[in-house]
A and B are shown apart, each in its own frame.
Chain A
Amino acid sequence: MANRLDITPMHFWHIAKRANMADFAGFNMPLWYDTGVKGEHLAVLRSAGLFDTSHMACIRVKGTDASKLLNYCFTRDLDFLQPWRCTYGAFLDKKGFCIDDAVIYRFDLTNFMVCVNAGMGPTISNHLEENKNRLNAEITDLSGKTAKIDIQGPNSAKILYSILNNADTIFKEFPYFSFKGDFDSNENEFESVTLKNNTPILLSRSGYTGEFGFEIFLEPSKALHLWEDIFEVGNSFGITACGLGSRDSLRTGAGLPLSHQDIGKFVFKNHPWEFALPYNKEKTGFTKSFIGRQALMEGKNSSFTLLFIGDSLRKIHPGDSSRVLDRSGKDIGWVLSCATDMAIDYLDDKIVSINSPGLPDNFKIKGLSCGFIQANEKLKPGTVITLKEKKREIKARIVKTIRPDLTARKKLNYFI
């Protein structure tokens, strides 16, 4: 008998809007709505998109040794993480493989929240418990007890401005990868950020689209109300409900990995996300001891994860049956992810996005395929490759970044 799928607090809204729903990591989630993946993708670059990401899981880690435990299990050196800042990294096993990637939020010296992927709450909680030994750390899996809504795109701040109490104060000094407030009524900062209806939220200036925006954590019982309020205010700004389809094409264009697809099957190194490893300044070693360190130091992984952009918007199926060929036709790897970023194109020899300044009049952006390959040699940017799956072949080239002119890191004031 098939297992019943979990649902989020916005489930019946998605159904009422006749979203195309699918199973994703045990959750019944919207893939796209009436607007379609292309329109949803473009809405995030042009105005704002709203994503139900309540399938993701949160874990609270508290105690005098919370920092020590997380530092041992996570790839980022949390000694460098200030309170009210968050950081992206990974939980590795002893072989150096990625169990899951995550964002860790630091409230103070002894209080952290870990946000992991759908269905990974129990796995990472157990992993932390198993490595706790005598450390003083209390681990609470908040799976099912947290809702999450992401608002992404240039109009995100303007829309939230009308929904938040004291928005001016909250938006002051709010850099990328920082957060404010809490949704847990047992915590000190509870109610320091509230909606106009006085619902407490944790508001984080982050996201997984490469574009400016926020992630909002709150109690599940309050989530649908917020979701609908955001639409009420956001409609005049052209806000668009976005499903997992555009989330995938946006994150691919932003050069961000999908856990269990782009990371996880091999040692977590030689990839575009090495900023997530605690290298010392000279990159000769690591600043701390952590699970997987030995495997990374031994350098057993001789393959490389590289970004590519296709010559057109045409794609191939990624996965084990796909191949990457070099100019001489030699098989050098396979394709991990392949999506079309509908917001980019070639202008002469340069990649531009719909947000790039100075585009010629009447220049029509058609979109380009993009993604990640796993290659057994390091290829320089500009290297031409062929991606092949069965009879289908597309030409692509290795790049350092995919979608240009990303807005995620811009100052908040720019968008108000």
Chain B
Amino acid sequence: MKELNDLNLPEDVRYTEDHEWTKASGDHVIVGISDYAQDQLGEIVFVELPEVGDSFSQGDEFGSVESVKAVSEIYLPISGEIAEINESLEDAPELVNESCYEKGWLVKIKPSDASQMDNLMDKTAYLDMLKG
């Protein structure tokens, strides 16, 4: 288990209370789970993602990640339509553990209101939340 100060928490992403991260990339927003989340879940053996074209509101459950022992729901950080899913996770769900901000991203969305990003936490606020 990682110490909080050892967590990889990039400065250029925004975080949610449910431990998802999000980052703008052109017209889209990329979504994944944080280093803290993947460390707490342990080895991920299955990732359930929505279909391209599905629409969700901010905070909606849009899929789940499973470890050997548990199922954890994942929630969309901002409202929008699913533009792309990370298909490589079907055969290699462990990418979420190995590279949660790069190869282990979950979905790209076309945001319906990009200003919702402003409600999310930066690294300092997220780390403060984790430290309680």
B42-A32 in contact (CB<8A): yes
Q: How many B residues touch A, CB cutoff 8 Å?
A: 18
- Contact A20/B42 with A248-B69, A249-B69, A340-B66 known, Cβ cut-off 8 Å: yes
Q: Is the interface of B mostly helix, strand, loop or mixed?
A: mixed
Query: Chain B 47-79 against A: per-residue CB contact (8 Å), 1 yes, 0 no?
Result: 010000000000001001011111100000000
Tell me if A316 counts as interface (CB < 8 A to partner B). Answer: yes
B71-A316 in contact (CB<8A): yes
Q: How far is the CB of A413 from chain B (nearest CB, A)?
A: 33
Inside 8 A of B126's CB, which chain A residues have their CB? none
Q: A317 vs B2: C-alpha distance in the bound complex, in angstroms?
A: 26
- Contact A39/B43 with A20-B1, A21-B1 known, Cβ cut-off 8 Å: yes
- Report B's interface with A, CB cutoff 8 A: 1-2, 39-40, 42-43, 45-46, 48, 61, 64, 66-71, 97
Q: How far is the CB of B96 from chain A (nearest CB, A)?
A: 12
B42-A313 in contact (CB<8A): no
B71-A31 in contact (CB<8A): no
Cross-interface CB contact of B45 among A31, A32, A246, A313, cutoff 8 Å? A313
- Contact A339/B45 with A18-B1, A19-B1 known, Cβ cut-off 8 Å: no
Q: How far is the CB of A124 from chain B (nearest CB, A)?
A: 27
B42-A340 in contact (CB<8A): no
Q: A36 vs B97: C-alpha distance in the bound complex, in angstroms?
A: 11
Q: A392 vs B69: C-alpha distance in the bound complex, in angstroms?
A: 16
Inside 8 A of A248's CB, which chain B residues have their CB? 69
Inside 8 A of A312's CB, which chain B residues have their CB? 46
Cross-interface CB contact of A314 among B40, B46, B69, B97, cutoff 8 Å? B46
Inside 8 A of A18's CB, which chain B residues have their CB? 1-2
Q: Is the interface of A mostly helix, strand, loop or mixed?
A: mixed
Q: How far is the CB of B55 from chain A (nearest CB, A)?
A: 16
Q: A313 vs B69: C-alpha distance in the bound complex, in angstroms?
A: 11
- Contact A340/B45 with A37-B68, A248-B69, A314-B66 known, Cβ cut-off 8 Å: yes
Tell me if A367 counts as interface (CB < 8 A to partner B). Answer: yes
Chain B residue at minimum C-beta to C-beta distance from A31:
B42
Inside 8 A of B64's CB, which chain A residues have their CB? 392
A245-B69 in contact (CB<8A): yes
Q: How far is the CB of B52 from chain A (nearest CB, A)?
A: 20
Q: A20 vs B42: C-alpha distance in the bound complex, in angstroms?
A: 8
B45-A367 in contact (CB<8A): yes
B42-A315 in contact (CB<8A): no
Q: A7 vs B84: C-alpha distance in the bound complex, in angstroms?
A: 47
Chain A residue at minimum C-beta to C-beta distance from B39:
A20
Inside 8 A of A367's CB, which chain B residues have their CB? 45, 68
Inside 8 A of A38's CB, which chain B residues have their CB? 43, 45, 68
5 further interface pairs, Cβ-Cβ under 8 Å (given A367-B45, A392-B64): A20-B40, A37-B43, A246-B68, A315-B70, A367-B68
A37-B71 in contact (CB<8A): no
B43-A315 in contact (CB<8A): no
Chain B residue at minimum C-beta to C-beta distance from A340:
B68
Q: A18 vs B97: C-alpha distance in the bound complex, in angstroms?
A: 16
B66-A315 in contact (CB<8A): yes
A342-B68 in contact (CB<8A): yes
Q: Which 3 A-B pairs have the closest CB atoms?
A: A36-B43, A37-B68, A20-B1
A36-B42 in contact (CB<8A): yes
Inside 8 A of A313's CB, which chain B residues have their CB? 45-46, 66
Inside 8 A of A19's CB, which chain B residues have their CB? 1
Q: Provide 20 A-B residue pairs closer than 8 Å at the C-beta atoms, listed in order of the A residue.
A: A18-B1, A18-B2, A20-B1, A20-B40, A32-B43, A36-B43, A37-B69, A39-B43, A41-B68, A246-B68, A248-B69, A313-B46, A313-B66, A314-B71, A317-B71, A339-B68, A340-B68, A367-B45, A367-B68, A392-B64
A37-B46 in contact (CB<8A): no
Query: Chain A 183-215 against B: per-residue CB contact (8 Å), 1 yes, 0 no?
Result: 000000000000000000000000000000000
Q: A316 vs B45: C-alpha distance in the bound complex, in angstroms?
A: 14
Q: How far is the CB of A410 from chain B (nearest CB, A)?
A: 25
A392-B42 in contact (CB<8A): no
A311-364: which have CB < 8 Å to B?
312-317, 339-340, 342
Chain B residue at minimum C-beta to C-beta distance from A342:
B68
Q: How far is the CB of B80 from chain A (nearest CB, A)?
A: 20
- Contact A37/B48 with A340-B68, A392-B71 known, Cβ cut-off 8 Å: no
Q: A386 vs B43: C-alpha distance in the bound complex, in angstroms?
A: 26
Interface centre among A31, A248, A315, by most chain B C-beta atoms within 10 angstroms, is A315
A4-32: which have CB < 8 Å to B?
18-21, 31-32
Q: A122 vs B39: C-alpha distance in the bound complex, in angstroms?
A: 36
Inside 8 A of B68's CB, which chain A residues have their CB? 37-38, 41, 245-246, 249, 339-340, 342, 367
Inside 8 A of A342's CB, which chain B residues have their CB? 45, 68
Chain A residue at minimum C-beta to C-beta distance from B69:
A245
Q: A316 vs B66: C-alpha distance in the bound complex, in angstroms?
A: 9
Chain B residue at minimum C-beta to C-beta distance from A316:
B71
